[in-house]
Amino acid sequence: MAKDIPIIDEALADAHLPALMMSLVHITGDASLLSDDMKPAYDFFAEGRLGGLSPEKQAHLRSVAKAALTAYLAGDGKLPPPPSPQTLRRMMDFIVGGEVPERYAGMLMEELAVDGVDQKKPHWESPELKAAASKLKVLIIGAGMSGLLAGIRLQQAGVGFTIIEKNADVGGTWLENTYPGCRVDNPSHLYGYSFEPNHEWPMHFSTQPVLRDYFKGCADKYGLRPHIRFNTQVLEARFDEAAKAWRVKVRREDGAEETLVASAVISAVGQLNQPHLPDIPGRDSFAGEAFHSARWRHDVDLAGKRVACIGTGASAFQFVPEIAPTVAHLDVFQRTPPWLGPTPDYHDRVTPGEAWLLEHAPYYEKWYRFWLFWMLTDGLYEGVKGDPDYKGDPTAVSDANAMMRQMLIEAIRPQTEGAPGLLEKVIPNYPLGGKRSVRDNGVWIAALRRSNVELVTEPIKEITPKGIVTADGVLHEVDVIVYGTGFTASDFLKTFKVYGRGGVELHDQWAGDARAYLGMTIPNFPNLFVIYGPNTNIVVNGSIIFFSECSVRYIVGALQMLAETGHQTLEPKKDVHDAFNAKVDEANRWMAWGAPQVTSWYKNAKGRVSQNWPFPLVDYWTATLKPNPDDFVLN
């Protein structure tokens, strides 16, 4: 007789029931649980964790799960034969509470990885490929999430590489952003490399130190540190046409300049790391301390000070509630409010019961990740896609978008009760999906309602030595200004010059309008690859780690194509590049973020959406499985 497991009741009480059902199919080999009356039904206002099941059905499921898990853990650890591909397909439909279109099946099977196989891992196994790999020397710029990933994959392929990193450690954005409250707004169990799951995330949304340590841990585990040159700044990269190689000038830690030679260069410098300081008249005249959120001055004690925060984007949204209780007074200058997406567990810890299930219930973790992946990716796409026949007002782009807008307003409304005028101030007048929405568990509006906090919506006119003057002539006297004003995102690869064929400089070629083929390759720049390049950002559907994993697979595939064909360089054909960009532009026109009434950093100075991928995620996955030699000029 199986012994009681002390934590099992607690674990089942906290379980994500749809993922638990999937685990039970693996444990019992019995798919009869996937009956229509147990199929999850998700409701915007209800907890997805319970799958919309009635209390009676929940109780039934927990009792079946208790018996099955207890017996399994008391047994020899053997599972029945794995579900057939057809059953897995049914399980996918079941857990999402709908029907997953067939074209997603490959991508989702790979994400699910029930067989434990890391399908994106490169395999350069033939002696010819191994020999070719040993001759390649790839230079990766940046040791953040994407650069480390490129290093891991190149190492697995047997390709030589060096990572140049300007900072003293790895982690990129998760090293640099240390502002109070900094955390990711993708669920922890999704925001990690697909091949490096972590069952021990302490919170549902990881804080910056936890993510920094995760990426440090990956750098250590994969032995990347000996390949990284820290405190080294790339100054310029120049393609040597005669040698068919890149010459990359760097400034070393000791201040000396050095030129490195590489067969290919991968830029992994990110989009969101050069602070944007707004062009407000008098900005530099301010007599107090002033700093940007991504360069937080921990030496400036805000306790008891009068503080101004300019901006109400994702960063300010996180640090305002943190600093509000300690400052004497906080003026929050809002130009445009963000959309608030209800996320009750945003600051919650993973309970011991949940952690136990992730660790012990077979395949529970995989299906939980799968569920998060679907719910946060293309499951949301249609809601932010514009309908050309939409006749409503410009606060939405389709009837579905207008309906979601209304649902979000209803979720915000109760938070503003008893605070006259606040609801009007915090409801965006642009469509949902126009800008990145933020995750709301109530702390933002609670902070704005504090007696020592004022939400200022009057436009800023100027900054003076004493503070900030708004258009109505009011001087808001402050001791400290914190700029939560974002990044110069559309200036891709801003911090160094890149000279391609014929000496053309990349930024001159772009002329303020960065474009690339699939975000990665650019005509005239042979063997230059960009991760998180133009039009590879996502607004609602997905985690950027997924994009980087797709890009890196494609880049390693491109190097493999060179190795297999005996060519030394590749660059995209101009007509292929242009046709791709024309398709992107046309599609972006119809997304909420491309709507003419929306202004944001997703659009460059020319008004073109240069940041975002406008198609479903599955299209990027499909397009990047393997480079097509016909798309490239090979030399």
Chain contacts with ligand NAP (rule: CB under 6 A): 183-185, 272, 278, 280, 293, 310-316, 318, 333, 335-336, 436, 460, 484-487, 601
Cβ-count burial of 255 within 10 angstroms (0-12 exposed, 13-18 middle, 19+ buried)? exposed
Terminus-to-terminus CA distance in the chain, angstroms?
69
- What is the smallest separation between the CB atom of 313 and ligand NAP, expressed in angstroms? 2
Helix axes 364-376, 17-28, angle to 10 degrees: 140
Which of 359, 327, 364, 357 is CA-nearest to residue 447?
327
User: What tokens appear for 579 in the block?
Assistant: 């046709």
Task: State how far the Cα of 206 lies from the Cα of 183, in Å rounded to an integer.
Answer: 6
Amino acid symbol at 24 = L
- What is the smallest separation between the CB atom of 430 and ligand NAP, expressed in angstroms? 9
- What is the smallest separation between the CB atom of 211 and ligand NAP, expressed in angstroms? 10
Pick the closer one to ligand NAP by CB: 527 or 611: 611
Measured from each CB, the residue nearest to ligand NAP is: 313
443, 432 Cβ separation under 8 angstroms: no
Pick the closer one to ligand NAP by CB: 272 or 498: 272
Pairing of the two strands 570-572 and 340-342? unpaired
Which residues, including other chains, have CB under 8 Å from residue 399's CB and lie 6 or more apart?
Answer: 387, 390, 392
- What is the smallest separation between the CB atom of 184 and ligand NAP, expressed in angstroms? 5
Which of 126, 334, 289, 154 is CA-nearest to residue 227?
154
Pick the closer one to ligand NAP by CB: 280 or 516: 280
Pick the closer one to ligand NAP by CB: 61 or 294: 294
- What is the smallest separation between the CB atom of 82 and ligand NAP, expressed in angstroms? 35
Pick the closer one to ligand NAP by CB: 273 or 527: 273
Task: Annotate 152-187 with b (16+ C-beta within 10 A) or e (fewer).
Answer: bbbbbbbbbbbbbbbbebbbbbbbbbebbbbbbbbb
Task: State how far the Cα of 156 lies from the Cα of 308, in Å rounded to an integer.
Answer: 49
Pick the closer one to ligand NAP by CB: 87 or 395: 395
One-character DSSP codes across 307-339: EEEE--SHHHHHHHHHHTTTSSEEEEE-SSPPP
What is the 8-class DSSP label of residue 4? P
Name the 3-class secondary structure at 106. Answer: helix
Pick the closer one to ligand NAP by CB: 263 or 312: 312
Pick the closer one to ligand NAP by CB: 272 or 307: 272
Task: Annotate 384-411 with b (16+ C-beta within 10 A) or e (fewer).
Answer: bbbbeebeeeebbbbebbbebbeebbee
- What is the smallest separation between the CB atom of 218 and ligand NAP, expressed in angstroms? 19
- What is the smallest separation between the CB atom of 489 and ligand NAP, expressed in angstroms? 8
Which residues, including other chains, have CB under 8 Å from residue 403's CB and lie 6 or more apart?
Answer: none
Pick the closer one to ligand NAP by CB: 92 or 145: 145
- What is the smallest separation between the CB atom of 438 and ligand NAP, expressed in angstroms? 7
- What is the smallest separation between the CB atom of 537 and ligand NAP, expressed in angstroms? 7
Which residues, including other chains, have CB under 8 Å from residue 344's CB and lie 6 or more apart?
Answer: 47, 441
Pick the closer one to ligand NAP by CB: 232 or 537: 537
What is the 8-class DSSP label of residue 256? -
Pick the closer one to ligand NAP by CB: 311 or 386: 311
- What is the smallest separation between the CB atom of 453 and ligand NAP, expressed in angstroms? 16
Which residues, including other chains, have CB under 8 Å from residue 226's CB and lie 6 or more apart?
Answer: none
- What is the smallest separation between the CB atom of 591 and ligand NAP, expressed in angstroms? 15
